[in-house]
Amino acid sequence: MSLKSIVRELKEMRDGIGSMSKRGVESRRWNGRTKSYVAPDITLTSLEPIQQGQWANLPPELLLDIISRVEESETTWPARAVVVHCGSVCKSWRDVTKEIAKTPEQCGRITFPISLKQPGPRDSPIQCFIRRNRETSTYLLYIGLVPSENETDKLLLAAKKVRRATGTDFIVSLVADDFSRSSNTYVGKLKSNFLGTKFTVYDSQPPQGAAIQQDSGSSRRFHSKQSSPKVSAFNYVVGTIAYELNVLRARGPRRMHCTMNSIPISAIQEGGTAPTPTSFPQIIDRPFSPSPALKGKGSSTDLNNVNLPKLAVPGQGSSEPMVLKNKAPRWHEQLQCWCLNFKGRVTVASVKNFQLVAAVDPSHNVSAAEQEKVILQFGKIGKDIFTMDYRYPLSAFQAFAICLSSFDTKPACE
């Protein structure tokens, strides 16, 4: 049997499993009581007989060879969706697929949703672009050099801008039509102060290997009758972004510093590694007992008044967080503007354009080549179209959050 026929049968099997699961859940929903409940276990139970089919019992050597060939042949999206289909057949296929499909740092490719939380490649950046929709205040991150003509680009992340009295929030999701923080597609958020000069990056899961101060008061669901089974109950502060004030209106681009609390400075030292999560957090769905001060205020509360958990302050013997800064531009006399070498990835002059490099100290023992390496660059290429290229040690989510901060209005910084 050829590789193409195997892939075709995998797609058909996956579609069949999905339709059978849907019918099973619907029948139980109509036959059961009208009270709302969580039903993932019913779906998984209906899949168990399918896992004993012909594909689940393939010899391990043959299964490894099939998935290896698929992974090597499909390197770009949308064709790479076949690799994800392989991981959807059954548990044995999923385990082998996760073993073969490497992280973006290792292979330079994005495969599974968890890849968006993992560091990018060290040698060359992953090239993406952001499409802004002014009417809906949404920002969509796609993988690729530029938008395709047939609009088949792979969506990585989506964000929605929400203006509040005290600042602006950018809610980040895996899909473009659900920005609820109680959804299993919720990834994190970016929150600004009133002036739009300081931003805080929140992650839906704790950074790997970092000490976290948890507070039961930071739950995103407060005594709710309905709950999603795949939602992390906390937000975690993983970074801060600060723009320098330009009170004197001095000529020059915006200047910013990004403190990545979840990434130690040792990650860019020789032999260093960055935190790399391997899966999304486990289900956290414990009941919440409101404090006396919250009683009588309904079943939910405003997150702006809640102290969200933060990374513990590094103590002695722990590594300092990595800090990113603007790469200094040069003044072009003929063009009469500030210029940076974006290597053709940015074509329109804009105050939003920037390149970030590591801000290091001589005591950090970071090589000169590593100090000059552009970790993240962002710039405009057309109306409401921007490029975003990121590399190790940033993840796609962290890079996207930093770029989102550039979209907020900053009259005090320009």
What tokens appear for 232 in the block?
């992390």
The pair phi, psi for residue 158, each rounded to 5°, is -135, 145
| Residue with more model confidence, 45 or 2 | 2
Tell me the pLDDT band of 223, cut-offs 50, 70 and 90.
very low
Question: What sign has the CA pseudo-torsion 235, 239, 245, 251?
Answer: negative
**What is the rounded average pLDDT of the residues 272-282?**
83
pLDDT for the residue 278: 86
Tens of pLDDT, residue by residue over 51-108, are 455 677 888 888 899 889 998 888 888 888 999 988 888 888 888 998 999 999 999 9
| Residue with more model confidence, 292 or 161 | 161
Tens of pLDDT, residue by residue over 314-363, are 433 347 999 999 998 888 778 777 788 898 999 998 888 999 999 988 88
In contact, 123 and 106? CB cutoff 8 Å: no
Above 80 in pLDDT, residue 152?
Answer: no
Tell me the pLDDT band of 312, cut-offs 50, 70 and 90.
very low
pTM metric for this prediction: 0.76
pLDDT for the residue 255: 86
CA distance linking residue 274 with residue 291, whole number of Å: 38
CA 139-145-146 angle, to 5 degrees, is: 60
Tell me the pLDDT band of 205, cut-offs 50, 70 and 90.
confident
Above 50 in pLDDT, residue 37?
Answer: no
The class of domain 103-207+233-271+317-413 in CATH terms is alpha beta
In 333-375, the DSSP E strands lie at 337-339, 354-358
| Radius of gyration in angstroms for the set of CA atoms belonging to the chain, rounded to a whole number | 23
pLDDT for the residue 397: 97
Tell me the pLDDT band of 232, cut-offs 50, 70 and 90.
very low
| β pairing state of 385-390 and 126-133 | antiparallel
What tokens appear for 276 in the block?
């790399």
**What is the rounded average pLDDT of the residues 236-260?**
81
| Residue with more model confidence, 308 or 108 | 108
